[in-house]
Amino acid sequence: MQKLKTNIYLPIFLFLILNILFTRSFVGLGFFNHLLGEYIVLFGFIYLFFLVLYSSKTHRLFSLKIITAILIYYLLQLIFTQANITNTYTFKASSFIAMTSYFYLGLNLPRQNEYIQKIKQWLPLMLPIIYFLGSGLYPDFLTNFFIENSDKFQFIKASDVLMGVLIIVFYQTGFNEKRNDLYLFLIIPAFIPLLLYLSRGSFVAIVLFFVMELFTHRKQFISNLPRTFLLALVSMFIFVFSTFNIYGNLNFEKSNPLINEELDKRQTEVIQENLLDLIERRNTVGVVFSLYFEDNVLKSTDGTLNWRLDIWQDLLSDMNISNKNLFGYGYNEILSVMTDPSEPGRMGRDGMNENIHNYFLNIFARGGVILLILFVTLHITFVREWKSINGNYRLANFIIPLLVASFFDISMEGVQFPLNYYFFVGAFLSYKK
């Protein structure tokens, strides 16, 4: 049985490495008229039922009991909202529930497997690959492969860059005492300019991770001040070099044509129009960190953020008017706030966007305050369980920045991001430092 488990986890781990590197393009690969991401969600639901029926009875972790509660609540929602379980959209809209099952898959990762141990030794080599792919330096043969075989070719997004970096750095700094300071001072400064270019949400997240890690390991750094000071100087040079490499200048003016082309694809005309409109109308309004109130509505001089704020506030207002705060809308259809005929730009230029770009509000919209409380409790429980095993709250350094990034992004509403998140949270909890 142990040999079977070992043989199964080796391809799973390799699969996850490909998922970290090629993200959305990878899960969009087609097999037998369905996408790889759809199979991942399907397996997630099947594994979730298995987890609840068998594993939660024998495992003591409270997080598994919360996942069980989430599944039970989800099933009750399907019944009372008369969901059509033959409609694949029902499961697409609730994929964030299915992905929780991968926590248990990571929890049972065979740590002592010699092949997985060898792979882990090579994980740092993924960092320069992630950096170059995030910079738009995608090899032509890979670009052509995904264009031909995936439903969508996409450069690695900021949230996925963040995920890959945090997985590797957290593992190396947490379970490799000899080199933990090298990863913090040499790797993080290289990625900060890239994430600042791609997404301010992910930029804030990686800076938060850096600060939290510095605080966690402060005694080690203080006890060896000469080394820490030297690494700090080197990190400054790395930051400057990376800034020039990404921006093409040191003024933080976005002049990288490769990245700009990809970013332009993700923008919508309504965002640009909103930005121009806001600039014209904000002269007499007090602006703080790009935020201001107009007619009791929170707005931003940043077009992208204003687009999100507009959706979020309309959602909260609609839920309150429709008495959906407690149980949510369910999973039968696209959230009405996205299909509002008076706001046609919310669906994007191609009319395909249906995400509200906020992990927590998406949970609230689909399952109401009850489901939101269950998920928030689940993430808190992960940290508490780490504390009971390792005597500190360091797992929060990994979880909080990723949730901060997801507060402004669709990352947790997809497949590749939550797959990595839940699997590696489980894998980290399986270790005892």
CA quadruple 214, 216, 220, 226: dihedral, nearest 10: 10
pLDDT tens sequence across 118-172: 777 788 899 999 999 998 888 999 999 999 999 989 889 999 999 999 999 998 8
Q: Which pLDDT score, from 0 to 100, does residue 251 have?
A: 86
pTM score, two decimals? 0.91
Q: Which two tokens stand for residue 341?
A: 């005929």
Q: Which pLDDT score, from 0 to 100, does residue 148 have?
A: 95
pLDDT tens sequence across 19-30: 999 999 999 999
Q: Which pLDDT score, from 0 to 100, does residue 113 have?
A: 64
pLDDT tens sequence across 250-282: 888 887 776 766 666 655 444 444 444 444 444
pLDDT tens sequence across 274-321: 444 444 444 445 555 567 777 777 887 777 788 888 899 999 999 999
CB 290 within 8 Å of CB 37: no
**H or E stretch covering 399:** helix 395-406
CB 274 within 8 Å of CB 307: yes
Q: How confident is the model at residue 175 (pLDDT cuts 50, 70, 90)?
A: confident
How far does CA 402 lie from the centroid of its chain? 6
Give the residue-averaged pLDDT of 393-415.
Answer: 94
pLDDT at 101 over 80: yes
Q: Which pLDDT score, from 0 to 100, does residue 278 have?
A: 46
